[in-house]
Amino acid sequence: MAPFGRKFLRARLKSRSEDKEDDPGKEIQVWVRQEEKTVCGLTKHTTCADVVQALLEDCGTSPEPERIPQMEYCLMERWKGFERALPPLTRILRLWAAWGDEQPFVQFKLVRAGDCVPLCESKPGSKVGDQGPAQYVRSLPVDRQKRMVRKAFRKLEKIREQERAPAGDDGRICGLVQLIISQDHAIREQAHRMRELDLEIERIERGLRPAPESPQPGDDPLAADGLGCLERQLERHADLIERLSRDIDAEMRNACSAGGGEPASEGLGPGAYKDGVEVERVRRDLEHSMYRGLTLHTQLAELERELELNQAVLSSKGQECERLTAQLSGLRVADCAGAAEKGGSASWTEQARSAAAHAELQKVLSHGDGTDTDSDTGISSTHSQDSLSPCGDIRPPLETQV
């Protein structure tokens, strides 16, 4: 255990987050001189340089640690026979977490930078292969060191994704199965609830529906079916009426045949013969009534035609009278206007003209009158019209005198 390193790391972390609670942090194992030590208090901000400083303080290699340059030491990462020197700015906790399932095969070791190569000064023209891994990494620029670290992290992330892929598919399938099961359960509950609601609705409808009235013994049980039942009843009544009519016709034919022939009447009893006589009498009365009704109907039609003709003649005479009255009024107005203009010298001429017009009007009215007498016989035309009228009982309408 490296208590001094833990204190050092915690001291560096305290300056960054003073307001946060004291977190114990993570820990890793580092090999120092064939001895495994644990560095505690790691956070996401801890770098390889911080771990190297903590290990140097814990080992106590010198009473004055500040005289030993920290750049002479570095962390070596070993994985299944492969080694590489970690840059000082590498986030050690992020690198450790990126290994994932390969962590048991990964080891960190504190080494001196000069132990990887012979202790000789590097020449300006020395090749890259002549340098050790740690020395070569330290000789690179800082930005290139960062790119190398990012590239290593990307490779580790790809390895972890490849390892997690099958497990992720299985987890996704398990999640889908659980979702399907839960959806099936919810659907079953909803269907059960819908059935319960349907039963409840039916029960309420039966409660609100009025109870059907019990049919009477003499009524038709189908009378409550509405319009269809009424139609069936009408059809049944029509059938009954037609059947009754056929029966009546048959009885009348039998009665007629019984009354017309003696053998048929002799074969019938006294009651049947009396009924046949009564039926025959009723039939004759019915025929006589029908004949009288037809005659009355014909006379009524003739009277209606006569009435329409008289009304038309009366209307035409009234219109003629109104027209002549209007003409007479116009002539009188013209006579008055002419008399006012010409004076009294021509008054006798206008009076004569007015008298002639009045005489002509009287003549027209006398010719249009229907009561003129015959010049040869002296018999009134009214009597001749009465004699020519198809119905002698009906008098013609009175004539209108103008």
What's the burial of 135, exposed, middle or buried (CB within 10 Å: 0-12/13-18/19+)?
middle
Residue 139 has pLDDT above 50, yes or no: yes
Residue 73 has pLDDT above 50, yes or no: yes
Residue 6 has pLDDT above 50, yes or no: no
Rg of the Cα atoms in the chain: 70
Nearest CA-CA partner of 86 in 157, 168, 149: 149
Nearest CA-CA partner of 45 in 3, 2, 14: 14
Residue 348 has pLDDT above 50, yes or no: yes
Nearest CA-CA partner of 134 in 156, 117, 153, 119: 117
At residue 259, the pLDDT reads 57
Biggest alpha carbon–alpha carbon distance for the chain: 185
Note the pLDDT tens digit of each residue in 149-182: 888 888 888 888 877 765 556 667 877 888 888 8
Helix 270-342 to helix 347-368 angle (10° resolution) is 170
- Residue 391: CB atoms within 10 A of its CB come to 10
Using DSSP, state whether 41 is helix, strand or coil: strand
Using DSSP, state whether 83 is helix, strand or coil: strand
At residue 393, the pLDDT reads 47
Note the pLDDT tens digit of each residue in 9-21: 443 433 444 444 4
At residue 316, the pLDDT reads 92
Distance between CA atoms of residues 1 and 59, nearest Å:
11
CATH class of 3-119+127-139: alpha beta
Residue 254 has pLDDT above 50, yes or no: yes
Residue 395 has pLDDT above 60, yes or no: no
Q: Where are the domains of the chain?
A: 3-119+127-139
Parallel/antiparallel/unpaired status of strands 36-42 and 82-85:
unpaired
What's the burial of 42, exposed, middle or buried (CB within 10 Å: 0-12/13-18/19+)?
buried
Residue 334 has pLDDT above 60, yes or no: yes
Residue 215 has pLDDT above 70, yes or no: no
- Percent of the chain exceeding pLDDT 90 equals 5
Give the number of residues written for the chain.
402
Nearest CA-CA partner of 87 in 44, 141, 149, 12: 149
Confidence of residue 343 (pLDDT cuts 50, 70, 90): low
Average pLDDT, the chain: 72
Distance between CA atoms of residues 146 and 151, nearest Å:
9
Residue 292 has pLDDT above 60, yes or no: yes
Task: Compute the half-sphere exposure of residue 251: CA atoms within 13 Å on the CB side of its CA.
Answer: 14
- Residue 255: CB atoms within 10 A of its CB come to 22
Confidence of residue 58 (pLDDT cuts 50, 70, 90): confident
Are 159 and 100 within 8 A, CB to CB? yes
